[in-house]
Structure 1
Amino acid sequence: MNPVYTYAQTCTYDVKLLLHVVIYNIYDTKTDVVDFWGVADYDGYITATGPSSISANFTATPVSGTPPLEVTFSDISDGSPSSWHWTFGDGTDSSEQNPVHIYQGIGRYTVSLEVKGPAGGGAVRKTAFINVNSEPSLGPSGMVRVYSEPSGADIYVDGVKQGQTPADSLIVRTGLHTLLVRLDGYQDWTGTVQVGQGEMKFIPTIKLHKK
């Protein structure tokens, strides 16, 4: 009388109700039986839709400050994702929905979020989203991009640790600087870089060799 049915495919369905009615009229001397069939048609009555698509997005607070800078990231993706993969731009990542991350080095960090769920997946990348700066001001400065293979190596500028690879935009004073890239189990890489005011210096990807 009251069935339950699961529609597995995304579609619009017609519903047909077939009625079989039997009526008994009982009198003193006889019983009349009225037996008839009826059909009720409902075109396009049921619409089964799939899950809404996923669109990745996030916010963070604060987005700038001095090191160590603790940043709370908040997932605001549409489509009810069930898994998350964050990369924070300093060689670290997280699978939490709303992670808290501490930036130790000065620079501008690109943050990416990839989400997945029943409706599929989505990704968003925000370039130079987190700005970790020094206090007082560096004065005239430029930026250096440092990548390495493998990533996750510590970056030292003039002997001071400034973050990890991949680093999209380390902020440094103008002038000549000594760089050291160090990763456990690999030989250190050293080099120099000359940075002008407002200049973005791109260093070719550093290939680290095992010890």
Structure 2
Amino acid sequence: MDRPKKESVWWSWEISQPETKKRKTSKSKLKINYIPPVLALLLYGVFLAYLLPFRATVSGWIFKFVELLQITKVLKLSLLTDKRLYDYTALFIVSYIAFAFFLDLVRFLKKNLFQIFVTEESRLIVTKWGFLGKETIRWNPDQTGLQIHHKTGWIRSILGLEKLSFRIHITETENSILAESPYFFSRSNSPFLSSVFRSIES
């Protein structure tokens, strides 16, 4: 004699279901080349080491220029003959030059060190770090109108100076750059590159 089937309730259905394993999303992270940022920091340090002592020479040039124009004889101010005036002026000029190159260094490091490129399923995720926090951009590499530029070549591949730039086509002569990757070696980033260029390879 068949037993009558009991109506299943939501809690018994929840318990009776087999445990489903969460499907792991395939991720691939761009492995960047740290040599260019380190070299940029070293070059800036050498630049400062030679620039800061140069302020004494700049101070002498300024003083000779003032004497050439005979400004001290016309104005006859004791301040114009004070060496400290020219030393502080030279320090200001040298500091201004050093700060201008520092801003260029920050922009270089921001583009080539403080960016993370990750592919996750059909999305490309770019995280940019700045002084005020981080900015995250997500989009589909198969998106219509998106151009992916791969700067490569024999010399670039050896030195690890390959780059990716992602651009949106606006007009025939104008493109808007969404993001530009740091420098990298293609041979250590084959999973990342294959996931980015999957629409081209398929």
TM-score range, shorter chain: under 0.3
Greater strand percent: which structure? 1
Q: Taking structure 1 as the reference length, what is the TM-score of the superposition?
A: 0.24
Which of structures 1 and 2 has the larger relative contact order (alpha carbons within 8 angstroms, sep 6+)? 2
Compare the two structures and name the one with the higher helix fraction.
2
